[in-house]
């Protein structure tokens, strides 16, 4: 199926270049010049991925990323941020806003397309063989098995679901309430501190391989699963 890529960029030359390259690669490009145009485009058709320029007139890219993450209907759409050199310092901000990857300008369209495909694969939670690989961790969705540095990990059903969610939603911060919603299905009988209990258990399971550092506490917000320590 043809992937729909929304590009939000105020420079027409970059927009056209990217649209041309995406089209040649069999993807469909939806162009937008600012946040307002982007929101109109999304309302019409939800894209598979968003390319978002950091510096936009009016609402900034970062602000828009946060807004998209707060909105139920756009929360799951992967975002690749387009940043100019020198803006990399704000990477941390971007990751907290739920951005999936970065491409620094000037970029080659070939590099951009490779990154788009990598993010799409990751967001679909599949590397083609039915398993998800993230750093030294591999989760086999069909067999319900987890491997750390190639060794099988003995894992309970809740920790498995939690890890599976994290691995398909890496590099984003989730509050306890959001994790309850996604992993426990929003059961009213489960308290938020239950999340902490299972996070502790998951860390303990990954500890022998020193992979517990992937489960990160974000103070005052919640948790994030990341390959970067
Ligand atoms: Ca710009």
- Going from the Cα of 113 to the center of ligand 1, the distance in angstroms, rounded, reads 19
Rounded to the nearest angstrom, the distance between the alpha carbon of 54 and the centre of ligand 1 is 6
What value does the mean pLDDT take over residues 73-102? 74
Mean pLDDT, rounded, for 9-16? 96
The rounded Å distance from CA 10 to ligand 1 centre is 5
Domain positions in the chain are 4-123, 132-225
Give the Å distance between the CA of 224 and the centre of ligand 1.
29
User: Residue 173 C-alpha to ligand 1 middle, in angstroms?
Assistant: 26
Cα(139) to ligand 1 centroid in Å equals: 38
CB 100 within 8 A of CB 78: yes
**Residue 96 pLDDT level (bands cut at 50, 70, 90):** low
Query: Does residue 10 register a pLDDT over 50?
Result: yes
**What's the half-sphere exposure (Cβ side, CA atoms, 13 Å) at 82?**
25
Q: Tell me the percentage of the chain whose pLDDT exceeds 90.
A: 49
Better-scored residue on pLDDT, 94 or 146: 146
Ion ligand 1: residue ranges with CB closer than 5 A: 10, 53, 55
E strand segments, 12-156: 28-32, 49-53, 79-84, 101-105, 131-134, 137-140, 145-148, 151-153
How far apart are the CA of 39 and the centre of ligand 1, in A?
A: 17
Instruction: Label residue 64 by pLDDT band (50, 70, 90).
Output: very high
* Fold of the CATH domain 4-123: Rossmann fold (3.40.50)
Same fold, 4-123 and 132-225: no
Cβ neighbours of 23 (radius 10 Å): 12
Class of 132-225 per CATH?
mainly alpha
- pLDDT given for residue 86 in this prediction: 63
pLDDT, mean of residues 123-145: 75
pLDDT per residue over 29-55, tens digit each? 999 999 999 999 999 999 999 999 988
Q: Whose structure tokens read 């911060």? A: 173
Place of tokens 């599949």: 126
CA 61 to ligand 1 center in whole angstroms: 9
The pTM (predicted TM-score) of the whole model is 0.58
Report how far ligand 1's centroid is from the alpha carbon of 84 (Å): 8
User: What pLDDT band is residue 125 in, cutting at 50, 70 and 90?
Assistant: low
CA distance 142 to 67: 34
């Amino acid at each position: 199926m043809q992937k729909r890529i929304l590009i939000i960029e105020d420079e027409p030359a970059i927009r056209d270049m990217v649209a041309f390259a995406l089209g040649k690669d069999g993807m469909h490009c939806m162009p937008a010049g600012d946040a307002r145009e982007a929101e109109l485009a999304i309302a019409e058709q939800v894209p598979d991925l968003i390319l978002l320029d950091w510096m936009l007139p009016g609402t900034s890219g970062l602000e828009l990323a946060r807004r998209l993450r707060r909105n139920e209907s756009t929360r799951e759409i992967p975002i690749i941020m387009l940043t100019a050199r020198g803006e990399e310092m704000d990477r941390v901000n971007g990751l907290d806003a739920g951005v999936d990857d970065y491409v620094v300008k000037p970029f080659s369209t070939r590099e951009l397309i490779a990154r788009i495909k990598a993010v799409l694969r990751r967001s679909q939670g599949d590397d083609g063989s039915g398993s998800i690989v993230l750093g030294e961790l591999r989760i086999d969705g069909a067999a319900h098995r987890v491997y750390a540095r190639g060794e099988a990990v003995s894992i309970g059903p809740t920790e498995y679901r939690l890890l599976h969610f994290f691995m398909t939603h890496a590099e984003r911060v989730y509050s306890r309430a959001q994790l309850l919603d996604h992993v426990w299905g929003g059961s009213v009988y489960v308290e938020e501190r239950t999340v902490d209990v299972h996070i502790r258990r998951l860390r303990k399971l990954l500890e022998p391989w020193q992979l517990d550092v992937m489960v990160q506490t974000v103070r005052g917000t919640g948790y994030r699963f990341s390959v970067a320590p």
